[in-house]
Amino acid sequence: MYGLSAGHGIKHFGQGALLLMMPSIRATFGIGDVAYGTIFAISSIASGIANVPAGMLADMYRKRVAWLLTISMLMVGTGYFLIGISPWVWLIGFAVAIIGFGTSLWHAPAFGTLAARYPERRGVAMAAHLTGAQIGNTTSPVIIGFLLGGAIGSFEFAGFDWRWVGVGVSVPMFLTAIAVLWRFKTGGAEATHNLDLTEYLQSARRLVTNVRILGLVFLGAFRAAIHTSFQAFIVLYMAETLEMSGFTIGWHVALLTLAGIASTPAMGWLSDRVGRKPVIFVAMASMAAMIFAFLFIERGIGFTIIVASLGLFFFSVMPIITAATMDQVERGSEGSATALIFAGGSVVGSLSPIVAGIIYESNDFQGIVIYCGTIAVLGAALAIILPMRRVTS
């Protein structure tokens, strides 16, 4: 649990670096609002595609999950290296696709392994894994923002070019890939046997025809739509409207996940005891309220406080939705169930930043707030009506 969580944190450190680099990349290549959103859409599309082989391989070759995790980290590292050496915007798009594919390839083997190994503590196990991601998401924007330039008190740092930062990010990704292959040799040891193709297809068919699972996939997709759109454009808003430095933007983005380091395991523990439904509903409703608050507080200390408060729920609800999905599946299908829920998020997440780019073009950040807040309200409503009882297998 701890090893996978640490690896997940490093993966998210790399994943979060792109968000801070994008305003600089946009300025270098003169990328428009819709094209800016499209780059994030490319990442989500690649991420969605990756879920198909990831879920299949994770269930059919459970005892080889270390190799899947290693390939995931190698792809993230390769993507950032290509960004760092890229003289063309199309190569940036290709590199972002590699990063998106690599980051998504991690989820099915990691979440599936944890769900199978800790069947009675899935909420805690999922939350622990995402807490690692929260730590990566929190440290990444601060470090990457500082490397891009900013001030700490009276100390000012001119920063490095975004290309050097991209190459630099690739290094810990490659090193982690080596460590994963070396240390996670026992990954998947809890599996009694690997599924053959016939068993896998039968299991997959049962998943995609299960109404409760499909409902949870939609719920995860709503959260992903908020995540991809709000995070992408609040960074742009801080850079271009509020004219914050790279470092100041970085620590604001870090606030979106900082509180989640504590709230994520607490929510996981609570969901194991009182149920997934009330925890998910409260999280989605609170997220909606905090997002709409940006309509009234657009800058200053109030802006910072709302960003920090949103961090209590912004990412923390995802492992609870994942645990609720795992409660519905039979043993041996955990990898495919993980892939399905992340695939749903990727499909909606790939369209959402394009829609958000169109909204931002004509309505600025307030339009993004209304768009994301409305999705959060729909997610809270879905959480109320969706059955989430545990199914034993």
User: Which tokens belong to 7?
Assistant: 């690896």
Looking at the domain covering 2-185+195-385, what would its CATH class be? Answer: mainly alpha
H helix or E strand, kind and range, residue 193: none
Angle at which helix 197-208 crosses helix 33-60, to 10 degrees, equals 130
Q: Give the number of residues written for the chain.
A: 393
Q: How would you write the pLDDT of the chain (393 residues) with one tens digit per residue? A: 666 666 677 777 777 788 788 888 888 888 887 788 788 778 877 877 777 776 667 666 666 777 888 888 899 899 999 998 888 888 888 999 999 888 877 766 776 666 666 655 656 666 666 666 778 777 887 788 778 876 555 566 667 888 898 898 889 889 988 887 777 765 555 555 555 556 556 666 666 667 777 888 888 888 888 888 888 888 889 988 888 877 788 888 888 777 777 787 888 888 888 888 899 999 999 999 999 999 998 888 999 999 888 888 887 788 788 888 777 766 655 566 666 666 666 666 667 888 888 898 888 899 999 999 999 999 999 988 887 766 544
CB distance 92 to 215 below 8 Å: no
Buried-state track 254-270, b at ≥16 Cβ within 10 A, e below 16: bbbbbbbbebbbebbeb
Closest CA relative to residue 383, chosen from 313, 334, 335: 313
State the burial class of residue 296 (Cβ atoms within 10 Å of its Cβ: 0-12, 13-18, 19+).
exposed
Tell me phi and psi for residue 103, to 5 degrees.
-65, -35
Sign of CA dihedral 105, 106, 111, 113: positive
Residue with tokens 């989605």: 284
> Mind giving me the DSSP string for 116-161?
HH-TT-HHHHHHHHHHHHHHHHHHHHHHHHHHH-EEETTEEE----
In angstroms, the CA 290 to CA 272 distance is 26
CA angle 259, 216, 96 (to 5 degrees): 65
In angstroms, the CA 152 to CA 66 distance is 40
Which of the 8 DSSP states describes residue 294? Answer: G
pLDDT digits (tens, 9 = 90+) for 14-69: 777 887 888 888 888 888 877 887 887 788 778 777 777 766 676 666 667 778 88
In angstroms, the CA 357 to CA 335 distance is 33
Closest CA relative to residue 51, chosen from 350, 311, 371: 350
In terms of DSSP bridges, do strands 155-157 and 150-152 run parallel, antiparallel, or are they unpaired? antiparallel
pLDDT digits (tens, 9 = 90+) for 158-170: 678 888 988 988 8
**Predicted model pTM:** 0.64
Half-sphere exposure of 361 (CA within 13 A, CB side): 13
Which of the 8 DSSP states describes residue 335? Answer: H
> Mind giving me the DSSP string for 98-116?
HHHHHHHHHHHHHHHHHHH
H helix or E strand, kind and range, residue 10: helix 2-29
Domain-wise residue ranges, the chain: 2-185+195-385
